[in-house]
Amino acid sequence: MQRPIIIGIAGGSASGKSSIARKLRNAFADYKTVIRIKEDDYYNDQSDMSMEERLKVNYDHPFAFDHKLLISQLEDLINDKTIEKPIYDYVEYTRSDKTELIESGDVIILEGLFVLEDEEIRDLLDIKVYVDTPADVRFIRRLRRDIKERGRSIDSIIDQYMSVVRVMHDQFIEPSKKYADIIIPEGGHNAVAIDLLITKIASILN
């Protein structure tokens, strides 16, 4: 089997990483498999912690993620092995007891805050993408998403953004932009950049 192409999509919280990942996946739906993996599912297992302790964790720091497991499972996919991908429960602030069975394929799309920040992950990527969206747009998107999808209150979202998210973005995520092969302004709304990326992937596959 030919080694799968691994595309890493990084960027700030609510920058549009998922929108781009979905569009890429849809563009290559005819191939054997286009796998989409979210770094968020690799948050550390915190089932041994109380809810009070879980709420105090900085989820916007690289240490909040089990990158060792993520790297191991990426290597398994590269070697045509099936993985049992973890699933994260945003309501319980820990890993779900359910997993997702994923077989290797032609293209692996990895999206997450720190996929360009971590050198070991970066070295596995064939194409490195950074989604560059203004902070005010990202905050509004995060506010809507966390209320609708994650059951968070407005006050908790604002407090977390001001005290943690913005600081961690400036410290870890924004500097990782220098490693990108492609920088996409405005995320999923940038049709030209996405079309160019699709063309590049198609040229490699063919």
pLDDT at 160: 86
pLDDT at 3: 87
Architecture of domain 5-205: 3-Layer(aba) Sandwich (3.40)
Q: Provide the residue ranges of all domains of the chain, joining segments of one domain with +.
A: 5-205
Strand partners, 8: 110, 128
The closest of 13, 6, 131 to 61, measured between CA atoms, is 13
The tokens describing 129, both together, are 């993408």
Residue 32 confidence (pLDDT): 64
The token duo for 13 is 């919280």
CA distances from 101 to 73, 79, 112, 149, 173 (A): 11, 16, 20, 23, 29
* pLDDT reported for residue 150: 79
Sign of CA dihedral 148, 149, 153, 157: negative
pLDDT at 31: 66
Spans of the chain, pLDDT less than 70? 1, 31-32
